[in-house]
Amino acid sequence: MAGKRTKQCTRFVLVIGGDEFLNEQQVRDCRDEAAKNDPETEIIELDAGEASQYDFDEAVSPSLLSASSIVIIRHIQNADDALADTMVSYCSSVSKDPMAATGTVIAQHDGGQKGKRIIDRLAKAGAEKKAIPDLKRADAKLNFVIQCFELRKRRVDPAAAQQLVAVLGEKTGELAAMCEQLCFDFDDDPIGLDLVNQYLTGNAEVTGFAVADAALAGNDAKAIIDMRAAVAQGTDPIALVGALAMKLRTLAKASAVRSGSISQAEAKTNPWVLRNATRQLSGWTSDGLSKCIQTLAWADEQNKTNGGDPMYALERSIELISHKGRMSV
């Protein structure tokens, strides 16, 4: 999937949809592989929404500067009929006789239904299709992280992988870069949660998760000290409230799954996260969870209201969570 790169690209490659970062990565990989065979080849980029059939013909033809070219044509779903016909004709000809091709074409599609006909026509003409995963599901993101480490012959602890996904899961490029940096800077195998948190220190989500973990472990003193330090260093208290609320929502889902109120699929939570939350349910009651969630809502309001006292509200929320909702606030 994500971290596994193609070793060889044919004369006409079709990169289809999926995660934007992975889509672009595949385009780059195909370009670099084609360029290795001829370092002097000319690289030409076209936008299918603006290019004509003549632009494409010129791009794949020999020029005074180079006898061959690598043509990257983006957003092919926007190609008009004339350009589409020309691309299909070229693809068909180079598929029948690759040695006669004067250029390598990498056609990039953004995904979705638009342009499905041109994808089908190019595939039928012999284009090599590379469908890119979308990484929308939590388990897909987790697998992506694991594969990023496996690509470098390294391993990562499940908790560390989940932390990376929790913080950077919506930013695939940053997620990949962080995995690469961790492998470069540390020899630990597997890479553990402490190293991940060390690199993500200063990120509000990580700080919030650390505070929440301390509170859930019953260590209100540590949680409050960490919370105060984070705020003093510039972390917005509202980010800490959000992290605490996320932890409690996961606990509530784990409780509902355990009681049979909802299925694991309906919880829409990564299985590893759900198992971890289930282990933390000991001593919690529905009333305790409800009270803590209501208190966090009050803390959120205190952060957003002029004249509120966000620090006091955060401290009271942390104390209540550390006592599993069994103290008066």
Local structure of 73: helix, strand or coil: strand
pLDDT for res 109: 94
Q: Is the pLDDT of residue 131 over 50?
A: yes
pLDDT for res 169: 81
User: H or E element: which one contains 247?
Assistant: helix 237-259
Structure tokens at 38: 């001829």
Phi/psi of residue 4, nearest 5 degrees = -85, 120
Q: Is the pLDDT of residue 98 over 50?
A: yes
**What's the pLDDT tens digit per position in 46-73?**
999 999 999 999 888 876 556 678 899 9
CATH topology for 138-199 is Helicase, Ruva Protein; domain 3 (1.10.8)
Q: Does domain 12-131 have CATH number 3.40.50.300?
A: yes
Local structure of 130: helix, strand or coil: strand
Q: What is the DSSP letter of 39?
A: T
**What's the pLDDT tens digit per position in 274-322?**
777 888 898 999 999 999 999 999 998 888 877 678 889 999 999 999 9
**What's the pLDDT tens digit per position in 240-262?**
888 888 889 889 999 999 888 88
CATH number of 204-322: 1.20.272.10
pLDDT for res 2: 46
Q: Is the pLDDT of residue 231 over 90?
A: no
Q: Position of tokens 């006091």?
A: 312
Q: Is the pLDDT of residue 20 over 70?
A: yes
In Å, the largest CA–CA distance within the chain is 82
pLDDT for res 75: 93
Return the domain boundaries, the chain: 12-131, 138-199, 204-322
- What percent of the chain has a predicted confidence (pLDDT) above 90? 31
Spatial CB neighbours of 160, under 8 Å, sequence gap ≥ 6: 190, 191, 192, 193, 195, 196
The angle subtended at Cα 54 by Cα 53 and Cα 59, nearest 5°, is 100
Q: Say if pTM beats, i.e. exceeds, 0.85.
A: no
Query: How far is residue 204 from each of residues 162, 178, 235, 236, measured CA to CA in Å?
Result: 16, 16, 6, 7
pLDDT for res 88: 94
